[in-house]
Amino acid sequence: MTEAVISLHGVSKVFHPPRQRPYVALEGIDLDIQAGRFVSVVGPSGCGKSTLLALVSGLLPATSGQIVLSGRPVSAVRSDVGFIFQRDALLPWRTVRENVALPLRFRGVPATVAGSQVTEWIARVGLSGFADNYPHELSGGMRKRAQLAQSLVNDPPVLLMDEPFSALDVQTRNLMENELLELWGASRKTVLFITHDLEEAIALSDELVVMTAGPAGTIKARYPIDLPRPRSVTEIRFSPAFVALYERAWNDLRDEVLRSYQRSLSAS
């Protein structure tokens, strides 16, 4: 067995919002992800999925427990990961080309070298005709492509994705999912993918992690997914193995979604 690239042991996160009671977002998270694996996390909204990614990337400090990324404990923001945010994070006042070039600029890569890398990545995500456009001039799907190029231009070994395609229409989403699998197949990065869409999670991943409802969200179940690759996310949904897995995982997830819903009702 290869060494884990992402490993969490006994990780918890407590928020202390001003003038409110502390809120336990995550508790007792143990998770090891081997190099090159594609792991998806599903759970009801508010269960702490985004918080989990913030902890792994070092954007937020864990309250307790140990997080190790690529062999080094996480103690500050890690720029050796790619992070695709749920919301658009491209700088609106920069063109696609300038946005994709940012990480190279921050690292002091000479402009000539950066230029060719940027052009190559823009082409790889299919945005060659739009390099000099501003984000608002692109469709939602194109903006996600630009963000992929921006996150991958440095070639980080780990890719963290927070519901990246949730705002896209179904056709665009399926297209993007297939392209993501292609990119991943070519590079075999370690991917931690957050979604609330169980179908998407199973279709993409090697492993599925189901979380419990918050507060104190934790891991409820893990399912290995041994569906053959390469996959087409649009077709794999019809395979009997997919359907069987979906049913088992849905049983787990449904309970948590209901629990989360009831808690939100009693809280309000």
Ligand X SMILES: Nc1ncnc2c1ncn2[C@@H]1O[C@H](COP(=O)(O)OP(=O)(O)O)[C@@H](O)[C@H]1O
Binding region for Mg ion (CB under 5 A) out of 20-28, 43-51, 113-121, 150-158: 43-51
Distance of CA 74 to the CA centre of its chain: 17
CB 158 within 8 A of CB 70: yes
In the complex with other proteins, the residue whose CB is nearer, 39 or 84, is 84
CB 50 within 8 A of CB 41: no
> Contacts with other proteins in 149-168 (CB under 8 A)?
150-151, 154
Residues in binding contact with other proteins, number by CB under 8 A? 29
Q: What is the binding site for ligand X (CB under 6 A)?
A: 15, 17, 23, 25, 43, 45-51, 214
Binding region for Mg ion (CB under 5 A) out of 34-42, 45-53, 130-138, 178-186: 45-53
Shortest Cβ 18–ligand X spacing (Å)? 9
How many CB atoms neighbour CB 76 within 10 A? 8
Residue nearest to Mg ion (CB): 50
Pattern 103-122, other proteins, x by CB under 8 A = x--xx---------------
50 is an interface residue for Mg ion by CB under 5 A: yes
Q: Residue 205 touches which of Mg ion, ligand X, other proteins, none (CB < 5 to 8 A by kind)?
A: none
Q: Residue 46 touches which of other proteins, ligand X, Mg ion, none (CB < 5 to 8 A by kind)?
A: ligand X
Where does this chain bind Mg ion (CB under 5 A)?
A: 50
